[in-house]
Amino acid sequence: MAMVLDYKKHRPWAENLSIVMQVGLTMAGCIVFCFFTGHYLDRWAGSHGILTVLMTLFGVIGGGVVSYRQIMEVFANSAPTNSGPDHGID
């Protein structure tokens, strides 16, 4: 007996899960990319971990900014508009 997922029934749940996964992977990707870039630059410059720490912090900050923008884009697309003849705003 095969279990079949009814996508129409579980669509909101699946869409929310995909958004959470996208934001999480974006944040992790920024941090990991910046960490390894900093590690490579440390080995090249011989700076004993300074660039690894700085680049990791840049990755955390950059990942946070990108994740925030993704979340705001999702909210902007799902928010109802308050303009039109029924709302009194022209």
Task: Write down the domain spans for the chain.
Answer: 23-74
pLDDT band per the 50, 70, 90 thresholds, residue 43: very high
pLDDT band per the 50, 70, 90 thresholds, residue 4: confident
Query: How many residues appear in the chain?
Result: 90
Kindly report, residue by residue over 11-38, the tens digit of the pLDDT.
777 788 888 899 999 999 999 999 999 9
DSSP assignment letter at 79: S
pLDDT band per the 50, 70, 90 thresholds, residue 66: very high
**Could you count the other beta carbons within 10 Å of the beta carbon of residue 4?**
6
**Could you count the other beta carbons within 10 Å of the beta carbon of residue 39?**
15
Question: How far is residue 86's CA from residue 2's CA, in Å, rounded to a whole number?
Answer: 49
Greater confidence (15 vs 54) lies with: 54
The model's pTM: 0.73
